[in-house]
Amino acid sequence: MSAPPEVSTRRVPLYKRRRRRAWAAVAAVAVVLIAVITWAVTRSGGSGSPLPGFTIAYGQGTVANSDSILDSDKALAGTIPATLHFIPFDAGVTAIAEMRSGSLQAISGVGNPPVVGAIGTGTAVTVVIAQSFDADALIVPASVTAAAQLAGKKVGVLVGSSEDYELRGWLGIEGLTSKVTVVGFASEQAAAAAYLGGSVAAAYVQAGPEAQLEAKGGHPLIDAEQIAKLGIPGLNVVAVSSKLIQSDPSVVQKYVCAEVQATRLLTGPQSARYLTQSAKVQGVPGSSIVAATRAYPFIPLSQQLFWLGSSTGDTASPIVKAYVQTGQFLVGQGRLTSAPSASAIAAHVDPDFVKKALAGDC
């Protein structure tokens, strides 16, 4: 029988073990650095440059919108090659001023007077999506069932607002401009209080005050969507900085594509899931947001090119016509020295982004 092989008991020298540990540490650091560099390049779109900042203002409250869906869905937000920031949208005039200063790149849900005022004062703003009608209604006592019954009476409204424009436009259609006194208030709550106190015979107010007045026996004589379809549309839109469109149109296109997809999620069969998810960023309980949002008069995606026009510079589109009327309204109020022309307004409405998004060209 042969003897078993001799087993070596010699250990690896200490200096060799230290060398191996050092190389292993270097390799680990290299792997981490490669991973970080790959992530950074991917996030910057492969250009090696930092992502541009993109700040979006949108409304808070019980009604969600495409931007609150975008804010609450990180996967969808990640399709936009920019560092996104979301801030509350309190007033159109303030948001427009922030866009003029360069601290804001998009405003979601801004109404007619602020947009037209911006165009009239040379602010570089471009409308890219028609988002919704106002959710206002003219609340009157049960005894009033026809517009003619308002003759000789006072009607309250939020002064200088889209609602103010809509109400006055409707009174003109009804031949009541010189027969009804429009009283402007600093808030819709103040207009509702004046109605309850009897100092005005009717109030043109939105959902919250509207429900309050209906509970007290009032009823809607006409609402903003009906007035829009009569030719006085106080549309709420998504407005983007024209400077960003000129400097980085691809980012704007990705944003509009994300907005269109968010609108589909907002109105689709899984809407309750996405609306509840957005409740936190809206600052409201999830239980209240679904019903309120579903009842809101959003403009369907299928109507985008009707309201915005089929191409850039379309002076015959309903939104351009509405903005021309709004310009005349602002001149009458002394808030503009002259009304922008239809061609000047049309230059600030660009349907091409939403057209591409609807065609899947993202």
**For 53-133+233-358, which CATH superfamily applies?**
Periplasmic binding protein-like II (3.40.190.10)
pLDDT value of position 48 = 53
CATH fold, domain 137-229, is D-Maltodextrin-Binding Protein; domain 2 (3.40.190)
Q: What does pTM read for this prediction?
A: 0.78
The answer to whether the beta carbons of residues 324 and 339 sit under 8 Å apart is: yes
The tens place of each residue's pLDDT in the chain, 362 residues long, gives 444 444 444 455 555 555 555 555 545 545 444 443 444 444 444 445 688 899 999 988 888 999 999 999 999 999 999 999 999 887 788 888 889 888 999 999 998 889 999 999 999 999 999 999 988 999 999 999 999 999 999 999 988 788 898 999 999 999 999 999 999 998 889 999 999 999 999 999 987 788 889 999 999 999 999 998 898 888 999 999 999 999 999 999 999 999 999 999 998 899 999 999 999 898 888 888 998 898 888 999 999 999 999 888 899 999 999 999 899 988 988 889 999 999 999 999 999 999 999 999 98
pLDDT value of position 19 = 56
Q: What is the location of CATH 3.40.190.10 in the chain? A: 53-133+233-358, 137-229
The number of CA neighbours under 13 Å toward the Cβ of 285 is: 2
The answer to whether the beta carbons of residues 162 and 134 sit under 8 Å apart is: yes
pLDDT value of position 18 = 56
Sequence-separated (6 or more) residues with CB below 8 Å from residue 315: 342, 343, 345, 346
